[in-house]
């Protein structure tokens, strides 16, 4: 009996030491974590995006994207106008669709990315899905800080949250589905509103 008890105690000590070593090593490498706490940057960007949508303010929404994203996304003004056309009313609720944000950090390079899906309900009757990828920190390239990718759609789209998904885009499901949308139908000047 003593022998079995000794083996159990030694096993527990060895397993504990292994977990401690693993935690120490992961602090020095890149890591992807399912974060049970809401990162403050995630809340900040989500709140600003929803405020811009509620206020139908294209300039506020565009300013939330990183400098590199603004320079790389094709037809960004048109896509934002399309998004504002799709967004009806004011937000009633914005909830996580996939538990909590996924936070990716590369502590050596000083990079922190946050990716989140939301279900957005408005008083205009829409229930849509929104995906945001935010670069909260980038010590190597400050022009990366901001939203790098955004998707807004009545249907959820699977996005793998790994390095293959990096890039810049704004994807908005056409509010008229497959119908042709003339840019003049969705883009207005401030004086025409």
The domains found in the chain, sorted by start residue, are 31-192 (3.10.450.50)
In three state form, how does the secondary structure of 3-42 look?
HHHHHHHHHHHHHHHHHHHHHHHHCCCCEEEECCCCCHHH
Question: Which segments in the chain show pLDDT lower than 70?
Answer: 1-37, 98, 156-166, 174-193
DSSP state of 74: T
Q: What is the pLDDT of residue 150?
A: 92
Q: What is the pLDDT of residue 16?
A: 60
Name the pTM for this structure. Answer: 0.70
Note the pLDDT of residue 124: 87
Q: What is the pLDDT of residue 141?
A: 93
């Amino acid at each position: 009996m003593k022998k079995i008890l000794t083996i159990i105690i030694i096993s527990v000590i060895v397993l504990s030491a292994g977990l401690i070593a693993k935690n120490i090593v992961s602090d020095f490498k890149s890591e992807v974590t399912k974060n049970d706490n809401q990162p403050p940057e995630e809340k900040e960007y989500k709140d600003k995006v929803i405020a811009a949508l509620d206020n139908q303010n294209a300039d506020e929404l565009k300013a939330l994207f990183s400098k590199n994203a603004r320079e790389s996304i094709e037809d960004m003004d048109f896509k934002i106008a399309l998004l504002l056309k799709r967004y009806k009313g004011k937000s009633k609720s914005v909830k996580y669709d996939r538990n909590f944000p996924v936070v990716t950090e590369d502590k050596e390079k000083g990079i922190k990315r946050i990716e989140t899906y939301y279900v957005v309900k408005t008083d205009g009757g829409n229930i849509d899905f929104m995906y945001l990828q935010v670069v909260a920190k980038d010590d190597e390239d400050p022009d990366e800080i901001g939203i790098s990718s955004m998707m807004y759609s009545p249907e959820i789209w699977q996005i793998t949250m790994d390095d293959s998904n990096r890039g810049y885009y704004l994807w908005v499901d056409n509010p008229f589905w497959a119908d042709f949308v003339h840019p003049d139908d969705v883009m207005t000047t401030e004086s025409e509103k």
